[in-house]
Structure 1
């Protein structure tokens, strides 16, 4: 055999091989770097100063939450005739600064706590499976060690300010979500001001005329042709000011007409239409997007947000997409002048599903 050249993989010692018992490594383990004490590790005054800094950041978070409440419940609840652009700017400033201080105070405070006060020693610990009671006790001991190293027991100022900041930080979000459906029309019953009962009732009532959205023109049954789709709202909605958008979001309807012979009508809904003219909520039952895409050829109604598809011939049954239940139908009839009117409100809640939602009619729920 010829002479092996320098660098040939077959040359002994050129590369390390798996299973080599020589005890050599291609790169020696350098070990952990030496620990460098921080100022707070050696100087108690520096540690105390860092503790006060972290506590100040937690207190700043509490102040930020309070600023949010001042803007939201104080400035934001002034009568409309006293509201001007200056007050709106003040409110937006309080809401923005309050949210920023509330979140950043906690975040930066925890970072500073871990950087300056928590132990920063590095160590290597082999991973072991927790298989018996002794190992479980060791795991509990490790958790206790972590608590001790965080110094949360030794530094009550940090602990108390952190608990206070974390306790009230979620309150602004809770207030906003609880107030999403809170309109100017207040009731003595809290369930009517908040919660799912607000979604059960709309402006539709017995004898309420169906009028065209935007124009407010009443609709005669003879004006609706087969294949048409008309955006409809209850009569009187467009004259409202303070609560129009809130009510429209629940009561808006799509009016369509098809050949009655193509409709599969449930026995209890035989009188809910007028010669093939039907009215359905246009609020998608998935996440509440407005539906307006009607295919006359297939009789399908399509939601543009997530492509939920409803079949008009099957009382708006979901035939495709993530929607969980059909669109609620508004019972309609005609009055003495030939105008389309509602027979009642929707008999089930409109919009997306939620955990308190009960699709049964009111008489069945009360039975």
Structure 2
């Protein structure tokens, strides 16, 4: 069964015959295109916006270092806020806003405002076409007013350049303070007892049996005594004072320095991995290897904790120990080198031992 519609044409007309190309609307010049004074005003406005952006970027940096990060304040309708964050947000927002408004205003008032159609052409252009492109680029450069108004380019470059600082400086500063004395010293010192972590009990050398392993902290920084510390001091101590104590067969110890700094086969080493600072806490009794669980750096405890596998580049620092008059294990001194990962100033004269590279 078929249906016939008499009102439909027998053949459809081609699309190009049914629609007419409307072309471009008539070009209406802007005031800045026909009035030099209007162009100058637009140029000044763009420069002003870029200058505001640059000043806001500078204000961000000043506020970052001048305002106390813990400073609080009250804003109507919002309540108590952290003024440090508010000022940083406002200055960075104003810096970005100045760049955005300046770029938009520049494009709408001074950039070329003509539409054109460029037909497709072969990849190998004729010399005449290349010359035409050169003339067009030259005309574009002049039409942006950059050749006559150097302040536009200078202010735009300054605004964009300074805006990068609020993005880069907090990242670099947020990496932490520059290494100072705290990386060279710990809370270990002569006569400080080695206390079991977390109980805080002292360790008698006579009670340490072959293959025993203890995770220890300095006296006063573990157990009940640690609760009296400032929380920040306690966390700092936990990060850099942690030590692993192991009793080895003295006959298996290869390093003379390791024997001298130990006591009857009992040796103590920093638990802070020399790769990125993870706690090295996995001891394998049969092989006498210490393993870092983060990146599998492996240290040989019978050979002064030298690296035998993994990304770590330095042995774990040894803590020299002895026993006091009551038989408890104590430190002879602090670490003779900085613990943990390497840093630029690590080889400061007078810090490392003579045989340290």
- For these two proteins, the number of residue pairs brought into alignment is 287
Q: Which residue of 1 aligns with 2:269?
A: 280
1:330 paired to 2:308: no
Q: Which residue of 2 aligns with 1:291?
A: 280
Residue by residue over 1:327-361, the C-alpha shift from the partner in whole angstroms, topping out at 9 and shown as x without a partner, is: 00000111111111100010111111122222886
Q: Which residue of 2 aligns with 1:223?
A: 207
Q: For 2:251, which of 254, 257, 261 is the aligned residue? A: 261
Deviation at 1:59, TM superposition (A): 3.9
Deviation at 1:363, TM superposition (A): 7.9
1:172 paired to 2:147: no
The farther-off stretch of 257-266 and 201-210 is 257-266
Q: Compared with structure 1, are the counterparts of its residues 333 and 165 closer, same or farther at alpha carbon in structure 2 (3 Å cutoff)? A: same
Residue by residue over 1:36-89, the C-alpha shift from the partner in whole angstroms, topping out at 9 and shown as x without a partner, is: x9999965659535554444444443444444335xx424389xxxxxxx98x5
Deviation at 1:231, TM superposition (A): 1.7
Query: SS at the partner of 2:215?
Result: strand
**Structure 1: runs of 5 or more not aligned:** 1-33, 79-85, 127-141, 182-193
Q: For 1:154, which of 124, 128, 151 is the aligned residue? A: 151
1:235 paired to 2:235: no
Q: Which residue of 2 aligns with 1:271?
A: 260
Cα contact 2:55–2:95 (8 A) shared by 1? no
* TM-score (structure 1 length as normaliser): 0.62
1:90 paired to 2:90: no
Q: Which residue of 1 aligns with 2:128?
A: none
1:214 paired to 2:206: no
State the superposition RMSD in angstroms: 4.4
CA distance, structure 2, for counterparts of residue 39 and residue 292 of structure 1: 76
Q: Which residue of 2 aligns with 1:247?
A: 237
CA distance, structure 1, for counterparts of residue 51 and residue 212 of structure 2: 65
Deviation at 1:299, TM superposition (A): 1.3
Query: SS at the partner of 1:330?
Result: coil
Query: SS at the partner of 1:248?
Result: helix
Cα contact 1:210–1:342 (8 A) shared by 2? yes
* TM-score (structure 2 length as normaliser): 0.64
Cα contact 2:204–2:327 (8 A) shared by 1? yes
Task: Please show how residues 58-137 of structure 1 align to structure 2 within 5 Å.
Answer: 58-70=54-66, 73-76=67-70, 90=82, 93-94=85-86, 97=89, 101=93
1:352 paired to 2:341: yes
CA distance, structure 2, for counterparts of residue 342 and residue 60 of structure 1: 54
Q: Compared with structure 1, are the counterparts of its residues 42 and 91 closer, same or farther at alpha carbon in structure 2 (3 Å cutoff)? A: closer
Residue by residue over 1:79-136, the C-alpha shift from the partner in whole angstroms, topping out at 9 and shown as x without a partner, is: xxxxxxx98x5167448736964995698689769977788999x999xxxxxxxxxx
CA distance, structure 1, for counterparts of residue 59 and residue 347 of structure 2: 41
CA distance, structure 2, for counterparts of residue 97 and residue 58 of structure 1: 15
Query: SS at the partner of 2:260?
Result: coil
Deviation at 1:171, TM superposition (A): 3.8
Q: Compared with structure 1, are the counterparts of its residues 52 and 95 closer, same or farther at alpha carbon in structure 2 (3 Å cutoff)? A: closer
Q: Compared with structure 1, are the counterparts of its residues 77 and 339 closer, same or farther at alpha carbon in structure 2 (3 Å cutoff)? A: farther
CA distance, structure 1, for counterparts of residue 346 and residue 215 of structure 2: 26
Query: SS at the partner of 1:280?
Result: strand
Residue by residue over 1:5-45, the C-alpha shift from the partner in whole angstroms, topping out at 9 and shown as x without a partner, is: xxxxxxxxxxxxxxxxxxxxxxxxxxxxx9xx999996565
CA distance, structure 2, for counterparts of residue 119 and residue 215 of structure 1: 77
**Structure 2: runs of 5 or more not aligned:** 1-23, 73-78, 125-136
